[in-house]
Amino acid sequence: MTAGLATVSFVGIAFLLLIGGVWILFALCFPFAIRRAPLWLRLVSVVAGVLMASGAIGFFGSGLSACGGLNWLPSSFEWPVGHANGVVTTADGLHVVPLDAPGRIQVYDANWRFLRGWAVDTGGKPFKLQISPDRHIEAFGTRTHDVYTLKGELVRSEPFPDTADAFNAIPDGSSYVVPTPIWLWVFTGPFASWATAVAGLLLLVLTQRLAKPYNLAAPPAQLEGLATQEVMTPPEENFTPQAERVTVTRRDRADIHADIPTRFSAGSYGCLAAISIWTLAWVTVAYLAVSRAWRSPDGSAIIGAMVSGLVAFVGCRVSVALLKAHSPGNVINVSSYVSMPRRLIGWVAALVWFAAAVAWNLGVFATLFKLAQAGRGWMILLLLLWSLVGLFLLFVLLTGIGVTIDSLLRSMRRRDDYGGP
């Protein structure tokens, strides 16, 4: 007999670490960007960054556990539970709690003191528990039927019919609120984690707006040494117009181009392209979900059609608003000069993000298409959170590609203006 473990998916672990790491790094670094703001505003930005990072840790941590990335956790580690569904109780009063998102089983005594926990191979999908007559724990997933001892040792594993009827035939168990410290509720499930991260993000946006006047008031010392100029003018009493002799440095050339307005910037269209592609995919999901609900109007199918239709509608409205904001009449300032080493790093990062964004969105929307055709509305609602992560990936990818294109165009323009790099 061996201890139960989730199957390790190295690709999934790599994607989650990449995306979650960028999200957490952004949340933790943002408070340092408003150092000239008042103390109370900096403290608010720290609280916002902690909320955003905590939500990301809970959200992506559940995914890591489901992918087998946290199999190394000891049996003494207790995953915060909060409100639990599907709880089964043994004859001697032990409570066995299933955790769907991280893919874990945790055992508590009659007084809800934690005893042990272990990972199960469910891929983060819902599963149900039963207690067998010989006091073994039976875990029924969508594809497997695993049997464990109360100590977490895997007794046997066998296939289970991958049908909704077979899964729904298993009793649902009871609902309890497992004693959990209030500061750990953020880690109890994807919805709590995502809500906390979104609250932190909104607070960061508000903090940035409030700190904008302080950030614009840059100290004079930061403006010194940007250019080397030597200007010769005659005495004021004998003034006659004379040409100024100016020594222009390479950085001056970059500053000159940074201040030149242009009517096109590829980087500024990254958000528009990302939301447009994402919305098109959701329009397809909505079409499949509505078709399924029209053929068989059950409750779950109707929920799927309503959710997907609402998301597609919001995506279309946002796309139209962004398109109006980027109309030809609006003048956009290009970004400042970027050195060649930083450009190379940006190109490599764009390749990495391209692979992550394509793989993530293909996986999420392929699953959404299947769920829409099957009429599983609640699962569509759950995967909406993962599709938002895919939207973030697309935004970073397409914006990075646009910025790279802008840097190449600026390089060619400088060569034309100054006869060299």
The whole-number pLDDT of residue 226 equals 46
- What is the structure's pLDDT at 22? 75
Does 176 share its domain with 279? no
Of the candidates 209, 202, 212, 213, which has an alpha carbon nearest to the alpha carbon of residue 48?
202
Q: Are residues 196 and 85 in the same domain?
A: yes
Tokens of 299: 């409750």
Helices (H) and strands (E) in the chain, counts: 9, 12
122 close to 132: Cβ distance less than 8 angstroms = no
- Tell whether 13 and 134 lie within a shared domain: yes
- E-only strand ranges, 13-142: 83-89, 95-99, 104-108, 114-119, 128-131, 137-140
Q: Which domain holds residue 288?
A: 258-418
Based on the structure, what is the number of domains in the chain?
A: 2
Using CA atoms, how far residue 44 sits from 26, 197, 210, in Å, is 16, 15, 11
CB 24 within 8 A of CB 193: no
pTM: 0.59
Residue 48 shares a structural domain with residue 195 = yes
Same domain, yes or no: 31 and 162 = yes
Write down the pLDDT at residue 268. 63
At 227 the pLDDT is: 46
- Indicate whether 412 and 278 sit together in one domain: yes
**Residues 265 and 385 placed together within one structural domain of the fold:** yes
Phi, psi of 342 (to 5 degrees): -70, -35
Residue 247 placed within a domain: no
What's the Cα-to-Cα distance from 366 to each of 284, 359, 369, rounded to whole Å? 11, 11, 5
Q: Is residue 14 part of a domain?
A: yes
Q: Are 335 and 410 in contact (CB under 8 A)?
A: no
- Say yes or no: 170 and 289 in one domain: no
Mean pLDDT by 10 residues, the chain (421 residues): 61 77 78 75 87 90 86 90 92 92 92 93 86 90 86 88 80 90 90 88 84 60 46 48 46 45 56 82 86 78 84 83 61 48 61 74 84 83 82 78 67 53 46
pLDDT value for 390: 82
| Residue 229 lies inside a defined structural domain of this protein | no
Cα 220 to chain center, whole Å?
38
Counting Cβ atoms within 10 Å, is residue 232 exposed (0-12), middle (13-18) or buried (19+)?
exposed
Q: Are residues 315 and 394 in contact, defined by beta-carbon separation less than 8 angstroms?
A: no
CA distance 63 to 107: 21
From 213, 233, 266, give the residue that closes a domain.
Answer: 213
Report which DSSP code applies to 113.
-
